[in-house]
Amino acid sequence: MIVAKFGGSSLADAAHFHMVKDILALEPRRRYVVVSAPGKRSDTDQKITDLLLTCHNKAQRGASFDAEFALVTERYQDIARELEIDDHIIDSELMEVKSALQTGASISYVASRGEYLCAKLFAKWMNLPFVDAKDIVRFDSLGKLNQAATLRLIKDALKKHRKAVIPGFYGADEESNICTFTRGGSDVSGALVAAALDADLYENWTDVTGFRSADPRIIEDASYISSLTYRELRELSYMGASVMHEDAVFPVRNAGIPTSIRNTANPQHPGTLIVHTLRQIGKLPAVTGIAGRRGFTTIILEKMKMNDEIGFGRKVLSVLEKHCINFEHLPTGIDALCVMVNTDALNSKRTVIMDEIEAAVHPDAINVQEGIALVACVGAGLFKLHGTIARLFTAVAEQGITIRTMFQAPSELSIIIGVDEHHLESAIKAIYDAFIRE
């Protein structure tokens, strides 16, 4: 059995609804469908959720939201009309949403209506049962997902239906107040349904043809990754390379269910399969993917005999924790400690943090280096082949790029190097040419 989630780009209009119907017909095992709110039909279009959020914002200020709500209404009515669905059904639902906006509905309720209305339409058109996410996805009073309760509720509700349509992105707390995930959270909804039903496969249908080995904005012809592990995906996603909500990984990963990233507009392409453990077929590549991020700062502390001073690192990190700043990496030496943090997070409190670190550990010197970009080379085969690090350093050095720092992930799945921000693209291109374009 397969759980298939379709993103907003896959349900933007009636033509896309037909594409989804055809995809479901290709594989009878696709029995449970999780849908997002309709996305953009073109670059100049607006997403339904964005329009609803604008309506909420204006309603809270006492301003008219008629123009924006008219666009929401028009989109759903167009879909209903083109699919030959009796539009009075959607009209009554839209009136209810508008009334709720006028009477102070919560932002979560308003934001969730895009998925709710889309699922209602799709279920009606396909003659399938509609199961409301508010009845099966449970949040606690603080708005945090109660996964154990959610998995139980999903299983109990969906075992009554051989097939069903479920809206993504939202659920409800014990008091029936609507709660939402962060944007893109329909991916999480789909993963939860797959995990609860012990699906054979979770399919995430979107507008990209799988996961690419590098950012196509940097490497235009970056190859598609046929398969990778959840651990490799996490390493790449941390560096900003992602085609699905990062929290969607955990339910299916923990359940041992593979995820397939597919393109609704190109259903014949196999896309990318994300698995728990990579089954090696032939030669395992040294590098599966490359990703990079700008915006890092290193705080370098020097102190003689630092290695003999118990608690030195803890004291430094305690200062960052006090100011709610997470450290990204922590390379150390005998007499030096380097803490890498997000530049934006540090800059708002930089002076007070430096003063508190000085008072806490009394370093001989503090040096702050801004403008650092990190490049991650990720691959299960990275440390199974000899000379990998030498090849990486040579590729970067031949482009005249200085490596500011380097560290190996304990998982042995990635090597991360730090370079000046203006060298980020050049470093990624050099590594790609050395390991993937070969």
Quick one: pLDDT at residue 281? Answer: 44
Encode pLDDT of 197-218 as tens digits: 999 999 999 988 888 889 889 9
Same domain assignment for residues 217 and 364: no
pLDDT average, residue stretch 103-124: 95
For residues 51 and 74, what is the distance between their CA atoms, to the nearest angstrom?
Answer: 12
Q: Clarify whether residues 58 and 204 are in a common domain.
A: yes
Q: Whole-angstrom Cα distance, residue 52 to residue 60?
A: 12
Distance of CA 417 to the CA centre of its chain: 23
Q: Does residue 302 sit in the same domain as residue 371?
A: yes
- Report the range out of 232-241, 267-276, 380-389 with the highest average pLDDT: 267-276
CATH at 311:
3.30.2130.10
State the pLDDT at residue 228.
Answer: 86
Tell me whether residue 329 is in a domain.
yes
Residues 215 and 258 in one domain: yes
242 and 350 share a domain?
Answer: no
**Domain match, 239 and 339 both:** no
pLDDT at 241: 64
Residue 283 lies in a domain: no
SS3 label, residue 289? strand
Residue 281 within any structural domain of the chain: no
Q: Which of 224, 241, 275 is the last residue of a domain?
A: 275
Angstrom CA distances, 143 to 133, 247, 327, stand at 15, 15, 26
Range of the domain at 321: 289-435
Same domain, 172 and 234: yes
How far apart are alpha carbons 410 and 91 in whole angstroms? 55
Q: In terms of domains, do 21 and 116 share one?
A: yes
Instruction: Tell me the CA distances in angstroms from 262 to 59, 130, 303, one per residue in order.
Output: 38, 24, 52
Residue 280 lies in a domain: no
Mark 124-148 as b/e (b = at least 16 C-beta within 10 Å). bbbebebbbbbebbbbeeeeebbbe
**Together in a domain, 209 and 109:** yes
Residue 337 and residue 238 share a domain: no
Q: What percent of the chain has pLDDT over 70?
A: 97
pLDDT the model gives residue 280? 44
Q: Is residue 284, in this structure, part of any structural domain at all? A: no
CA separation for the pair 48, 171 (Å, rounded)? 18
Q: Is residue 158 in a domain?
A: yes
pLDDT tens track for 251-284 = 998 889 999 999 999 999 999 999 887 654 445 6
φ and ψ of 115, to 5 deg: -70, -45
Comparing CA positions, the residue from 336, 332, 341 lying closest to residue 297 is: 341
**How many domains, the chain?**
2
Question: DSSP E strands: which ranges in 232-342?
Answer: 259-263, 272-275, 289-302, 327-329, 336-342
The residue from 221, 248, 275 where one domain ends is: 275
410, pLDDT greater than 60:
yes
In a domain, 332, yes or no: yes
Q: CA separation (Å) from 364 to 301, 336, 358, 359, 360?
A: 8, 10, 9, 12, 12
Q: How confident is the model over 278-336, as pLDDT tens digits? A: 654 445 677 888 989 899 999 999 999 888 889 999 999 999 999 999 988 888 888 88
Q: Tell me the pLDDT band of 55, cut-offs 50, 70 and 90.
A: very high
End residue of a domain, out of 230, 245, 275 = 275
